[in-house]
């Protein structure tokens, strides 16, 4: 069959009757598919050397740069009952516009004249403070008067004591004189008695001298009694001086005690007045809180509490407002291993939900429908989803982000890194290596990271 053997069977077998041999004898098969395959392989090989922009991809959503520009819920500061709505969902409100009115639900605030009655209490306590102030002033004047009276009384008593000392001195001198006269009279009586016994003096002269001597003795006795009485008077005046000091000390202490009691009552009345004034201010401010107003201009997006008569607690969300003026940004998350590759100012290409786009991951300049941005901020601490949050802001004034873009819209971000050959990127992806983050053209000793690891504070 293969014409290998010398014994051929061609003469014995008719090969034309065999379909298999007929197929083998047909013309050669076309080589076009081979050429096409080789061309595709060549093109693929050439494409492997095309430049490829390495990037970090992530999903996020549209947000705002300023916290004041984010959607905010408006709460009620006080508990109350919804009485009347002044807006509808979708309405535009300016800062200070009334959104809803609530009424009081706590019994201690039911009195419609609560502020007026509290004002009366404040006025009464204020007058009480004035009365205590007047009493304190009167007691201070009384204390001063007692000090003056004590001064005069002490001076008067001291003068009497000085007079008593002078009288004692005078009486002592008189006593000395009387005793001298007594000694003289006694000596005269003795001499006269001696002369009388000798017959030189008469009995009359003797009796006269004796009488005079007795008179001087009587005067000495009287003067001694007078001197003793003056000494007793001096002691009484000294006791009186101590009594005056004690008496006025008691009066002064009582006056000071009354003064401090009045001061204490005045301070207590002042504290009560301040407390009532605080309550009055609280009541006045609380009445202003019945009308819940918009903190800034924006659109009412959602009414969380709806029904009239519904009871709400303090801090309960009532309605949500979206500010009308805001600076758009994109919030996205990246893996921790990608964080060393990032730094502020990195270029980012963005694809927004709802805007048609044709994205070429490795050729961002050839993509259609994407928008430009840059890394504005990087969180210093990992988020709850074990990723780091980035804030991306617009950076292309020639092609601004869509004006109809709304906060909360989804987005896909491509953070652009280095340009490398396509084959290298495929090899890196297959081996799971990170993107290149070394500066091109740097010497080995000068190799450094584009973005250093940020310290977590």
Domain membership flag for residue 6: no
Q: What is the pLDDT of residues 338-348, one digit of tens each?
A: 787 788 888 88
Secondary-structure percent of the chain, ordered helix, strand, coil, rounded to 5: 50, 20, 30
Q: Does 192 share its domain with 225? A: yes
Round the average pLDDT of the chain to a whole number and report it.
81
Q: What is the pLDDT of residues 137-175, one digit of tens each?
A: 998 999 999 999 988 988 988 898 888 888 888 888 888
Query: What is the average pLDDT across 213-224?
Result: 87
Q: How confident is the model at residue 196 (pLDDT cuts 50, 70, 90)?
A: confident
Count how many domains the chain has: 3
Q: Does 119 share its domain with 84? A: no
CATH label of the domain that carries residue 84: 2.40.50.100
Q: Does 260 share its domain with 353? A: no
Host H or E run for residue 410: strand 410-421
Q: Does 301 share its domain with 366? A: no
More confident residue, 435 or 81: 81
Q: How many other C-beta atoms lie within 10 A of the C-beta of residue 399? A: 10
**Contact status, residue 414 vs residue 55, Cβ threshold 8 Å:** yes
Query: What is the average pLDDT across 26-35?
Result: 66
Q: Does 143 share its domain with 254? A: yes
CATH label of the domain that carries residue 219: 1.10.287
pLDDT of residue 230: 86
Distance (Å, whole) CA 263 – CA 109: 34
Residue 298 β-bridge partners: 93, 323
Distance (Å, whole) CA 387 – CA 456: 14
The separation between CA 343 and the C-alpha centre of its own chain, rounded to angstroms, equals: 34
Q: Does 281 share its domain with 319? A: no
- Who's near 334: CB < 8 A, 6+ residues apart? 56, 58, 342, 387, 388, 390, 415
Could you give phi then psi for residue 70, rounded to 5 degrees? Answer: -80, 160
Q: Does 123 share its domain with 195? A: yes
pLDDT of residue 97: 92
**Contact status, residue 193 vs residue 205, Cβ threshold 8 Å:** no
Q: Does 362 share its domain with 271? A: no
Host H or E run for residue 244: helix 203-288
Host H or E run for residue 416: strand 410-421
Q: Does 304 share its domain with 202? A: no
* Integer CA distances (angstroms), 132 to 136, 138, 266, in order: 6, 10, 5
- Who's near 276: CB < 8 A, 6+ residues apart? 118, 121, 122, 125
Handedness of CA 338, 339, 342, 344 (dihedral sign): positive
Domain membership flag for residue 20: no
Q: In terms of Cα–Cα distance, which of 212, 204, 221 is closest to 187?
A: 212
Question: Per-residue pLDDT for 218 more than 70?
Answer: yes
SS3 category, 325: coil
The region, left, alpha or beta by phi > 0 then psi within -120 to 50, assigned to residue 48 is alpha
Question: Per-residue pLDDT for 188 more than 50?
Answer: yes
The strands making up 311-312's β-sheet, listed across from edge to edge, are: 291-293, 98-103, 80-85, 311-312
Distance (Å, whole) CA 43 – CA 22: 39
**Contact status, residue 310 vs residue 82, Cβ threshold 8 Å:** yes
In the listed set 275, 299, 323, which residue is the last one of a domain according to the structure? 323
Q: Does 220 share its domain with 122? A: yes
CATH label of the domain that carries residue 436: 2.40.30.170
Q: Which two tokens stand for residue 18?
A: 């065999």
Distance (Å, whole) CA 360 – CA 365: 8
Q: Does 163 share its domain with 298? A: no
The separation between CA 392 and the C-alpha centre of its own chain, rounded to angstroms, equals: 32
Domain membership flag for residue 455: no
Query: What is the average pLDDT across 397-422?
Result: 78
Q: How confident is the model at residue 321 (pLDDT cuts 50, 70, 90)?
A: very high
Q: Does 121 share its domain with 153? A: yes
Q: Which residue has the tokens 């019945």?
A: 290
Degrees (nearest 5) of the Cα angle 48, 51, 56?
105
Which residue range forms the structural domain that includes residue 86? 72-104+290-323
Q: In terms of Cα–Cα distance, which of 57, 68, 236, 111 is closest to 164?
A: 236
Distance (Å, whole) CA 99 – CA 89: 11
Q: What is the pLDDT of residues 283-316, one digit of tens each?
A: 898 888 899 999 999 999 888 877 788 888 888 8
């Amino acid at each position: 069959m293969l014409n290998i053997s010398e014994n051929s069977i061609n003469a014995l077998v008719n090969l034309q009757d065999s379909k298999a041999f007929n197929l083998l004898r047909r013309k050669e098969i076309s080589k076009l598919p081979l050429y096409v395959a080789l061309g595709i392989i060549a093109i693929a090989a050439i494409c492997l050397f095309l430049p490829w922009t390495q990037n970090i991809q992530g999903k996020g959503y549209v947000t705002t740069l300023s916290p004041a520009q984010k959607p905010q819920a408006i709460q009620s500061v006080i508990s109350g009952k919804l009485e009347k709505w002044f807006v509808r969902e979708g309405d535009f409100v300016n800062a200070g516009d009334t959104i809803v009115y609530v009424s009081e639900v706590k019994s201690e605030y039911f009195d419609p004249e609560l502020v007026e009655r509290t004002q009366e209490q404040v006025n009464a306590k204020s007058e009480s403070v004035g009365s205590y102030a007047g009493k304190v002033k009167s007691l201070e004047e009384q204390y001063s008067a007692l000090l003056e009276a004590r001064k005069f009384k002490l001076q008067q008593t001291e003068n009497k004591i000085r007079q008593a000392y002078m009288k004692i001195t005078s009486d002592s001198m008189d006593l000395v004189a009387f005793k001298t006269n007594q000694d003289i009279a006694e000596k005269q009586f003795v001499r006269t008695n001696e002369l009388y016994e000798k017959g030189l003096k008469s009995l009359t002269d003797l009796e006269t001298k004796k009488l005079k001597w007795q008179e001087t003795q009587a005067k000495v006795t009287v003067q001694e009694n007078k001197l003793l009485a003056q000494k007793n008077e001096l002691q009484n005046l000294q006791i009186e001086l101590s009594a005056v000091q004690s008496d006025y000390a008691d009066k002064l202490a009582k006056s000071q005690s009354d003064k401090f009691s009045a001061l204490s009552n005045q301070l207590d009345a002042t504290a009560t007045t301040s407390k009532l004034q605080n309550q009055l201010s609280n009541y006045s401010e609380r009445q202003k809180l019945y009308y819940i107003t918009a903190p800034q201009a924006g659109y009412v997006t959602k009414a969380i509490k709806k029904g009239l008569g519904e009871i709400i607690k303090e801090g309960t969300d009532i309605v949500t407002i979206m500010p009308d003026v805001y600076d758009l940004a994109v919030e996205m998350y990246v893996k921790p291993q990608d964080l060393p590759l990032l730094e502020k100012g990195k270029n980012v290409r963005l694809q927004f939900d709802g805007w048609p786009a044709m994205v070429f991951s490795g050729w961002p300049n050839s993509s259609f429908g994407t928008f430009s941005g840059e890394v504005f901020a990087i969180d210093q601490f990992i988020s709850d989803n074990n990723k780091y949050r980035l804030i991306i802001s617009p950076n292309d004034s020639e092609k601004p982000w869509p004006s109809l873009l709304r906060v909360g819209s989804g987005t896909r971000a491509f953070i652009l890194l280095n340009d490398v050959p396509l084959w290298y990127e495929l090899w890196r992806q297959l081996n799971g290596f990170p993107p290149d983050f070394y500066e091109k053209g740097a010497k080995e000793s000068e190799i450094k990271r584009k973005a250093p690891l940020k310290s977590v504070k």
